[in-house]
Amino acid sequence: MRRFGVSLPDDLARAVDSIAEELGVTRSAVVAQAVASFVQEYRGHLKSGHICLGAVLSLTEGMEAVGEIMEKYRDLIANYSHIHLGEKCISVFVVQGDGQKIGEFLMGLSEKAAKTFFTPIE
């Protein structure tokens, strides 16, 4: 077993603590399960040589955060929709292309966004 520190957005950290309490397990157990799910997804889809098709959903405080990363990965984005709900901005991307590039797009987006979700379709 290895130990290392990670930084999480406050609401995500609270959610991890809440799930750990509800399930009666440690915070580490919840994080390990979440990482295992990501690793499985990564190995299946977010790798070089796999042409992936999927949808990305992100929640941001504004459009500025998304604009730069969208420009950088525009070749991957087949469709894009943006909705303002009060102070929140929700972006929906349909992405298609090399899985590794989609992974880079996701990681770049999640550094700027409060929440980012990816659902692979193929």
Which is closer to Zn ion, CB of 52 or CB of 66? Answer: 52
Beta bridge partners of 54: 95, 120
Which is closer to Zn ion, CB of 30 or CB of 52? Answer: 52
Backbone angles phi, psi at 84, to 5 degrees: -100, 125
User: Which listed range, 5-13, 30-38, 46-54, 109-117, lies at the site for Zn ion (CB under 5 A)?
Assistant: 46-54
Backbone angles phi, psi at 94, to 5 degrees: -100, 120
Residue ranges in 69-108 that form contacts with Zn ion under rule CB under 5 A: none
SS3 7: coil
Pick from 30, 52, 65, 109: which binds Zn ion (CB under 5 A)? 52
Amino acid at 19: I
Residues that bind Zn ion (CB under 5 A): 45, 52, 120
